[in-house]
Amino acid sequence: MARSDSHFVCQECGHSALAWSGRCPGCGEWNTLVEAKRSAAPGSRGGGATRSRAAAPRPVSLREVKPPKANRLLTGIAELDRVLGGGLVPGSVVLLGGSPGIGKSTLTGMALGNLSARGAKVLYVSGEESAAQVRLRAERLGDDSLSVPVLAETSVGAVLAALEAERPGVCVIDSVQTLHSEGMTGAPGSVGQVREAAGAITEVGKRLGTAVVLVGHVTKDGSVAGPRVLEHLVDCVLLFDGERERSFRTLRALKNRFGATSEVGVFEMRSGGLVEVEDPSARFVGEASDAPGSCVLCAMEGTRPLLVEVQALVAPTEIVPPRRVATGIDRNRLAMVIAVLARHGGPSLAAADVFVNVAGGVRVDEPGADLAVALALASAHRGRTLAGPDGRPLACFGEVGLTGELRFVAHPERRVAEALKFGLRPVAGPEAGERIDGMAAHRTLRSALGATAAAPRQAVQAA
Ligand code: TYD
Ligand code: MG
């Protein structure tokens, strides 16, 4: 009997197994194995054999490798260019992930419009929407976007042919999950299809020097749907994030072969498309209140300081265990801060539901947020505002250690300078090597608590 050509592929990690099992042997996830069939199309097995017979390739010394031309393609969207590390690199592949409705098509449509206005050859491949629908969006984005050539196509073969014929400088595939390859069975969006499609397009893009932007959906937990192998394949993974109901969007690089991964771009969705928010701190500080449970965190987003409002609510409860809800910060760090508060000079929140939120839908993933969370919680618990006598919110930053000490975090002077720009002083934070003007340094959480929430307002002023 002929050997079956079917195998089972994990939708999470791309692991391939001959038999189905409830748990993927590769990544340990449950219920992720899906049957995939490879049809015996010419080229599937034969292609591999031809390749193995080809002459052995010669490794080249790095000195002989031609350095890539540094002519990056500027998308004209400054925040996007910054996150990319200074624009698109010709021949590179960028994966742009984000949940539906977040604005991926809008962002890429605007970028292509700008590029085309600057004389670059572009191509927008839409697998999700018809050309008419793409036009409707472009009408909202302005004249430049209307000049972008669009191809409503879901067949990989056709897309590849169009790439070869048109040879665009930049091509957007919206989205990679809608593409299907004729040589593969399996629904579009399945691991095999996505991997095959992305692989083929990457290869052609690299050969033609086309910068390819693959738009991809993300799953509930924030990873790009489809195989993780896709993240290895591409040069750059960008995540477009934010809450759909709110207008703020953040764009960050999870991986970037041509730049730093720490940069973050902030956008706002308006009626005419996405608008870059050049001074996000101003927006977030403007929204901060002098209510109990609110303070301003001096965070660092990459190389840029960013002020965000941290809000806490403490509500007595009889539920055991009480609820701990964190939006925008890490849940485990919240649990840690609650525990340290109880032991080192703060309130015990064992019988209270705790909610902590970073306002504006921003995510802050750094230990430097601990102090802001601790102070906001203490303030919410006591019902006493952290704001100064002038009503300006308290600004702070710092990592809280398990023994109640305040720990140094990177770039204290930049964080303080950003807060001073908005007249927030003094900034509570950990002791740095040297004295920083406008900063009230504390060695312990207890001392920071004493100087702010617990003490009368004069103490804040005096510090
Ligand atoms: P879209 O870019 O289609 O999202 P995605 O491709 O990530 O699924 O747009 C998302 C939302 O943005 C959509 O609900 C409509 C809204 N929007 C605006 O508010 N203003 C605009 O100018 C445009 C084009 C869209
Ligand atoms: Mg879209």
Query: pLDDT tens digit string along 208-243?
Result: 999 999 998 876 665 665 556 688 889 999 988 876
**Which region among 63-67, 262-266, 377-381 has the lowest average model confidence (pLDDT)?**
262-266
- Give the confidence band of 421 by pLDDT, cuts at 50, 70, 90: confident
Convert 256-301 into a string of H (helix), E (strand) and C (coil).
ECCCCCCCEEEEEEECCEEEECCCHHHHHHHHCCCCCCEEEEEEEE
Asked whether the predicted pLDDT for residue 37 surpasses 90, the reply is: no
Q: Which residues does ligand 1 sit against, CB inside 6 Å?
A: 98, 100-106, 137, 140-141, 269, 271-273
Distance 328 CA to ligand 2 centre (A): 24
Strand duo 248-256 + 264-270: pairing: antiparallel
**pLDDT of residue 303 exceeding 80:** no
Distance (Å) from CA 105 to ligand 1 centroid: 7
pLDDT band at 44 (very low <50, low <70, confident <90, very high): very low
Average pLDDT value for residue range 151-177: 94
Cα separation, 385 vs 395, whole angstroms: 13
Of 39-53, 106-120, 189-203, which gets the smallest average pLDDT?
Answer: 39-53
1 pLDDT band, cuts 50/70/90, is very low
What's this model's pTM, rounded to 2 decimal places?
A: 0.73
Question: What separation in angstroms does the CA of 206 have from each of 94, 282, 310?
Answer: 12, 41, 44
Q: Supply the mean pLDDT for the chain.
A: 86
Name the H helices within 142-289: 143-146, 156-166, 191-208, 229-233, 280-287
Banded model confidence at residue 382, pLDDT cuts 50, 70, 90: very high
- Residue that wins the pLDDT comparison between 189 and 21: 21
**433 token code pair:** 């090597």
Specify the pLDDT at position 214: 94
pLDDT tens-place string over residues 67-81: 766 689 999 999 999
Q: Is the pLDDT of residue 358 over 60?
A: yes
State what percent of residues in the chain have pLDDT above 70.
89
pLDDT given at position 401:
96
Residues with CB under 5 A from ligand 2 (ion): 105
pLDDT at 460 over 80: no
Using an 8 Å Cβ cutoff, are 273 and 142 in contact?
A: yes
Q: Which of 156, 203, 200, 162 shows the shortest CA–CA distance to 182?
A: 156
Q: What pLDDT is attached to residue 57? A: 87
What backbone phi and psi angles, to 5 degrees, belong to 75?
A: -80, -10
Collect all residues with Cβ–Cβ distance below 8 Å to 412 and sequence separation of at least 6: 397, 429, 430, 432, 436, 439
Q: For residue 175, give the ligand 1 atom closest to its CA.
A: 6
Res 38: pLDDT: 65
In the predicted model, what is the mean pLDDT of residues 430-440? 90
Residue 39 in this model has a pLDDT that exceeds 60: no
Cα–chain-centroid distance for residue 73?
A: 22
CA of 179 relative to ligand 1 center, distance in Å: 21
pLDDT value of residue 43: 45
Closest atom, ligand 1, to C-alpha of 102: 7
* Contacts of residue 102, Cβ cutoff 8 Å, sequence gap at least 6: 240, 241, 242, 244, 249
Asked whether 174 and 108 are in contact (CB, 8 A), the reply is yes
Instruction: Please tell me which of 192-201, 294-303, 348-357 the model is most confident about, judged by mean pLDDT.
Output: 348-357
Q: Which helix (H) or strand (E) holds 324?
A: strand 324-327
Answer whether residue 202 shows pLDDT above 60: yes
pLDDT for residue 42: 47
Residue 136 reports pLDDT greater than 90: yes
Q: How far is the CA of 395 from the centre of ligand 2 (A)?
A: 38
Categorize the per-residue pLDDT at 456 as very low, low, confident or very high, splitting at 50, 70 and 90: very low
φ/ψ (deg, to 5) at 135: -65, -40
Buried (b) or exposed (e) across 7-29, using 16+ Cβ within 10 A? bbbbbbbbbeeeeeeeebebeee
Output the pLDDT for position 46.
Answer: 43
311-350 confidence digits (pLDDT tens): 999 999 999 999 999 998 999 999 999 999 999 999 999 9
pLDDT for 4 beyond 90 = no
Task: Measure 333 CA to ligand 1 centroid, in angstroms.
Answer: 34
**pLDDT computed for residue 350 by the predictor:** 93
Greater confidence (303 vs 105) lies with 105
Distinct helix (H) and strand (E) counts, the chain: 14, 21
In this prediction, residue 3 carries a pLDDT of 55
Query: Looking at this protein, which amino acid is placed at residue 19?
Result: A
137 alpha carbon, closest ligand: 1
Whether residue 426 has a cis bond before it, omega within 30° of 0: yes
